[in-house]
Amino acid sequence: MSGAASSIPQANPGAGYRALQAEIDAAVARVLQSGWYILGQEVRAFESEFAGWLGTAAAVGCGNGTDALAIALRALGLGPGMSVVTVSHTAVATVAAIEMVGATPVLIDIEPDYYTMDPRELAEVLMHPPTGAPPIRAVIPVHLYGQPAAMPEIMAACRRHGVPVIEDCAQAHGATLGGARVGTLADIATFSFYPTKNLGALGDGGMLATHDAQLGAEIAALRQYGWKTHYMSDAVGVNSRLDELQAAILRVKLAHLNTQNARRRAIAAAYDEALRGKSLIPAVRAGAEHVFHLYVLRSQERSALQARLREGGIGTGIHYATPVHLQPAYRDRLPLGPAGCRATEAAANQVLSLPMYPELTEAQVSHICDVLRAI
């Protein structure tokens, strides 16, 4: 959270709006005049543009990124009496979605350098599930901070056990691994358009994507009461629709996403340069293109560092200060992997997020770099 005195906030969705204000205002006016506000031509156009940009057969809009995960789980038949493996070092949404469908989250540890699911521990829990946990029927790796998880290893382990994989891409729109976009590497991918995400709406929004057009059609039905035709539920669904206003805004922003991700990478490179030799710099996985949803430093003297930055008028954030398995709602009741989430707990005590959004000016970036160099 950025302090009130900070002149450069850690995140700034208002700047994201103002940078594209004329285009966004025109899109909003178009929708308001259209007389059609839910699941209409803007949503259809955005879904097809998003699928084209990502490279999947189907993309289906929904209410938010948490619902996208829950709908993906339902589409794969997940429910009570089944476990889903994910990480504790994530937005609580990933774990909440698993419980929304009645399944049991099994939380495993991260690779300390990359903050994403440890594929060796995953292979271990698939072989030897935690005692008392229901059988593992799905796995959700999270591409945290904009960094791809170790997908080849994760997919190999899951394929050996016939377990489907959902990529949580809420923080990684446009990231690639081995030249392929995240969101194209598993069975279903989910995205969030929460305002601060790399592709952010001006409200809530989410998306599911898959290479399987048939599965895409089932997902499209699930988001609206299980309807394939109006007023006829073929399956038990939910109401989680993307609205026309957000879709029209997201169409504007999608056209700028690749450029904005390049700008995020340029800002990250400037921070890296300013921090050279200080061992605080985030590592990028070999073969990956990181899209820096967040630029996350690591320091054993986090509070002092945070205070120094605050004095320089620089806002910071902590993502995430308390791992999911230690939060009051989840503490002591979720099965953990054999590593006991020790790397997760260590990271939670040391991570610090610097300001990161494409609208940071050159002057702001160089001011932040000056303060970093002086540390």
Name the segment binding ligand PLP (CB under 6 A); options: 62-70, 78-86, 146-154, 358-366. Answer: 62-70
- Looking at the Cβ atoms of 42 and 168, the one nearer to ligand PLP is 168
Name the segment binding ligand PLP (CB under 6 A); options: 44-52, 163-171, 326-334, 351-359. Answer: 163-171
From candidates 90, 116, 224, 240, binder to ligand PLP by CB under 6 A: 90
Q: What are phi and psi of 117, to 5 degrees?
A: -45, 130
Residue number closest to ligand PLP, CB atom: 65
Residues 140 and 86: beta-carbon distance below 8 Å: yes
Could you tell me if residue 280 is left (phi over 0), alpha (psi between -120 and 50 degrees) or otherwise beta?
A: alpha
In the window 16-35, what residues touch ligand PLP (CB under 6 A)? Answer: none
- Looking at the Cβ atoms of 91 and 368, the one nearer to ligand PLP is 91
Residue 194 found at the interface with ligand PLP (CB under 6 A): yes
**Cβ-count burial of 40 within 10 angstroms (0-12 exposed, 13-18 middle, 19+ buried)?**
middle
- Looking at the Cβ atoms of 27 and 294, the one nearer to ligand PLP is 294
Residue 192 found at the interface with ligand PLP (CB under 6 A): yes
> Which residues share a beta bridge with 87?
108
Total number of residues binding ligand PLP (CB under 6 A)? 15
Residue 170 found at the interface with ligand PLP (CB under 6 A): yes
Residue 64 found at the interface with ligand PLP (CB under 6 A): yes
Cα 198 from Cα 356, distance rounded (Å): 10
Least distance CB 169 / ligand PLP (angstroms): 8
Question: In the complex, which residues of this chain contact ligand PLP (CB under 6 A)?
Answer: 64-66, 90-91, 93-94, 142, 168, 170-171, 192, 194, 204, 206
